[in-house]
A = this chain, B = another copy of it.
Amino acid sequence: MTALEKPVTRTAYQQSVADYWNAEKDPVNLRLGDVDGLYHHHYGLGDYDPAVLETPADRRDEAIIAEMHRLETAQADVLLDHLGPIKPEDRLLDAGCGRGGTSVMAHLRFGCQVDGISISEQQVGFANAHVRQRGIDGSVRYHLKNMLDTGFGSGTFQGIWNNESTMYVDLNELFAEHARQLKPGGRYVTITGCYNDVTGGRSRAVSQIDQHYICNIHARGDYFKAMAANGFVPINVVDLTAATIPYWELREKSSVATGVEKPFLTAYREGSFHYLLIAADRV
């Protein structure tokens, strides 16, 4: 078996995640992406414009979707704000890239090469088709790769991020691989939902999210332990919980709600769950 044939998923669990995303055609992802071609697989930040709820019925749905998309794009912008100075000759990694939205935004902002990776063949194909259309496929490339074992060379990237994709993997394995492929002094950023080890174990609402996405939400403390063990030192940590709640309130009222809105809102409001940004340097 050649290296190329080495399977991307290594466990039954990983395969179930790949299957989920290969099959997924959720309007909440597709219809929002259709707005401007930035397909996101993450949530939004900031207050929504309450006027969209008052839009006349025939355009109300479209207005809400555009507004939700605006908040998701704002979230990706906040993430990119924390990457530090990136030069056009640098290279970035979008680990768990979904259909590719954040990668495109990074390229447009910094002018540099971006690699996105996903274990979903469907997502990778979709994203590559999209950047070909945009004519930026020379700079933005999507790969069918396991983020725990990417095969990229050591010291390749100046910046790496996980935009809501760390809950599918073991954090120690993840940060070991990121430490390997980042340059010394490179920057790592993640935005993630994490449960609050201050209030105790995973609440029912958190387990409901886990079962919806077949994911494994980590404790907030697990991030800092795994970073400390793998040579990552935080430089900024921001609790975004309050800033993401409006997005969920709007989504609950939208036509593309999937049912997972209620556990998210419960978990955020009861304090058992945080929406956290962590920016850290690799030392």
Contacts and interface: CB of A to CB of B under 8 A. Distances in A.
**A interface, by DSSP: helix, strand, loop or mixed?**
mixed
A11 B219 CA distance: 15
A200 B236 contact: no
A142 B264 CA distance: 38
Interface residues of A, number: 48
B220 A233 contact: yes
B224 A235 contact: no
B270 A198 contact: no
B283 A12 contact: no
Interface stretch (A56-64, A205-213, A253-261): A205-213
Number of copies: 6
A108 B122 CA distance: 44
Interface in A203-259: 203-204, 207-208, 210-211, 214-216, 219-221, 224-225, 227-229, 233-239
B221 A233 contact: yes
Contact of A13 (B16, B201, B227, B234): B201
Contact of A221 (B185, B211, B283): B283
A177 B270 CA distance: 29
Q: A-B pairs with the 4 shortest C-beta distances?
A: A13-B200, A11-B200, A207-B211, A237-B237
Given A13-B201, A211-B211, 20 more contacts: A10-B184, A11-B185, A12-B199, A12-B203, A12-B271, A13-B203, A16-B204, A184-B198, A202-B210, A204-B211, A204-B214, A207-B207, A207-B208, A207-B210, A207-B214, A210-B210, A221-B283, A224-B233, A236-B238, A236-B239
